[in-house]
Structures are given as C-alpha cells and as structure tokens.
A and B are shown apart, each in its own frame.
Chain A
Amino acid sequence: MTTGELFRPDTVKILKTLAKNRVELIDSINELRKKYPDEYVAFHENEVVGHAKDDNALRSSLLKKYGTIEHIAIQFISSKELQLIL
C-alpha cells in the first residue's frame, strides 16, 4: 500500500472543515464552558451537535446520527478555565 492510496477523494475537504470547526469551537469556548462544564462537546458549523460526559458514548451517538465524524471537532470542555502556556 502506498501513501497515496490512503487519501480519500474528500480528505482535503474533511480537513478544512475539521479545522474550521475547531477554530469556531475555540472562539465559543467561554459559552460552551457555561453550558457544558466537564463534558465532551461535538461542534460543527458553529453549533453543538452533541455532548456527553463520556467521549466514546458521544462518538458512538454521532456515528449513528451522521455516519462519519471525521469532520466534527470534539473536545473536553473543562469547567475550570485553563491557561495554555506554550
């Protein structure tokens, strides 16, 4: 198997959508922290499309609902505001 065979035709589109969803999730993090403290949140097209305390449960429910979830940004939303120091 070569690396080229691993790319699906829509891989670029999926990656762009995933990154946009991630940025929109970051932009909404304070609002999400109030609504979904200490939960995993799934974000797509500026909307919460799922949330759960357990990430595996969330992924399973999203898979049932959407079929594929590679383009959806999923993140644990800590109730405590954490400063990322790099």
Chain B
Amino acid sequence: MKIEGYIAKNGEIIIPALLIVQEMGIVKEMTFLLDTGAASTIISEGDADAMGLDYSQLEKGTPALGIGGVADVYILKNARLAFVSGEWLIVKIIDRLEVIKHNVEDPIIKKALKSLPSLLGRDALGTRFGIGSDGDNVTIDF
C-alpha cells in the first residue's frame, strides 16, 4: 500500500494519520514524524495531552530508552492508524501503541519535551518499504 506525507525543508518527513481507539472513544487527527530508527510508533506526551488521554486508564509498558534518556511508556491497546492514500484512508492496526510520558521536574524542559512529535516507527512500516520524495510530497510504499 502507498501512503502520503510531506517533507519539511530540514528533511523531516511528516505523515498525517487519524488515530482511532474505539474502546477509549479516541478519534484524533494528528501528524507523525517518520523515524525509521524507532522500533515502535510512539504517541508523544504533547499529542497525548492534546487528546486528553488519561494515563491512569492505560497499562504501563516497558520504559523507553533513547539517546535523550529514559521515559515512562503507557500502552494504547487495539489502536488503528488511518493513513492518507489519494482520496482514501488505509487503516493499519497496531495492537499495542506506545504513549510516552517524561519524568522531568523542570517546568521549562517539561514544556519543551511536549513540543516533541509523535513518531511513526518500524512496527508500522515493517521490513519492506520504499520512500519517495519530490521535495514537497512524500510517498511510502509498504
């Protein structure tokens, strides 16, 4: 299947998707930063806040370790991501979608961390995919 996104001048590839978690009543338009280095697709703390996610309702997962340190992980079960493909939406099921929550006391750093994007990782892409860009528009075949 082929999904669509856009590329920024700094090379960041932005993929729009509709997040659906029926059990929790979540239907949210959002964007992901394509990150082929990330093992998992991750909902950022900023996006989680914007959708009013209640962490107490979520299962706690294994902490995430990255170059920037360690963060708590919560799990959204039976999530669906609907990607744009022309005038259609293509739905990908992600059984356990990770949501990041940072443990930081400094209020300025805490806010700055909330500006981080959600990431589209390898669990959504799989191992066979191709990325094309014309400088503005991006397509991912997988």
Contact = CB atoms under 8 A, between A and B. Distances in A.
**Interface size band for B:** 35 or more
B89 A12 contact: yes
Interface string A61-86: 00000000011011111101010111
Contacts of B64: none
Contact of A82 (B14, B30, B46, B112): B112
Given A23-B14, A84-B116, A86-B37, A74 B82 contact: no
A48 to B, nearest CB: 16
Contacts of B68: 85
Interface stretch (B2-10, B97-105, B122-130): B2-10
Contact of B22 (A1, A73, A82): A1
Contacts of A78: 108, 111-112, 115
Interface in A19-59: 19-20, 22-23, 26-27, 38, 55, 59
A7 B18 contact: yes
Interface string B44-79: 001001100000000000000001100000000000
